[in-house]
Amino acid sequence: MSFDPFSKLATIMPGHVWLAGAGPGDPGLLTLLAAKALGEADVIVHDALVNDECLKLARPGALLEYAGKRGGKPSAKQRDISLRLVELAKAGHRVLRLKGGDPFVFGRGGEEALTLIDHGVPFRIVPGITAGIGGLAYAGIPVTHREINHAVTFLTGHDSSGVVPDRIDWDAIGRGSPVIVMYMAMKHIATISAHLIAAGRSPDEPVAFVCDAATASQQVLETTLGRAEADVLASGLEPPAIVVVGEVVRLRPSLDWLGALSGRTLLPDPFAAGTQKDSA
């Protein structure tokens, strides 16, 4: 007897909206529930960061609506997107709102859910693998490692107005978080690096930019806080990118499993190469 992994999973009902995460890129990182929703939804309202390969799992005849928001480019207003979900649900459609990563990690999922509540539309949250974890894993960089850090901070590099958030306590984060993972920070790396160095971080601290994470076009730039701005400009790399600051970046020569598939020789002992240990 064959096993059907979808047989006991929930089903999108007409007039309902599912807010789901598609993961950082690789369609293999979709959850079973998100994959099932793709095959059931009448309308899929998707973000710019959803891999086209994920959308190929949509059922035949499903309507695909683009609702991407990219910094510095013309984008739909968030309020309009939220009200579009209401409109579609009220028309009796089974609606999948598909976002890159996780809908509740810098994904505006909470804002959209609140609008649905305000209009009496039933919804479900389907978590996804956020790029700050899954994307870094595809680059061979763990967000935590017992020999290096016992804490990690996730933050966004720009607010709703497109500038570096002034509500972030850079001094506290710079002093207290051994590893910092930043979304939407690439274009503001000069300002952010200056904040962190002023807070006491070393200009020589390792930094990595993971662009197009977990896709066939993934590229990784390893640099330092002091050189980050110049190296990004010289590289020609563009967002979307996840940026990570901290000693965990030094583990990449040992954990770059994708590189190993292409012939890279991995180091069995990264600490022998000078990785600093946390005494905690």
Instruction: Please say if 187 is a catalytic residue.
Output: no
State the CB neighbour count (10 A cutoff) for residue 238. Answer: 12
Among candidates 161, 157, 163, 154, which has minimal Cα distance to 131?
154
Report the distance separating Cα 40 and Cα 183, nearest Å. Answer: 31
Instruction: Please say if 1 is a catalytic residue.
Output: no
Instruction: Please say if 184 is a catalytic residue.
Output: yes
Catalytic residue of the set 26, 36, 47, 186: 47
Catalytic residue of the set 26, 36, 102, 184: 184
Contact partners, residue 94, CB within 8 Å, separation at least 6: 12, 13, 14, 15, 16, 40, 41, 42, 43
Show which residues are catalytic: 47, 69, 184
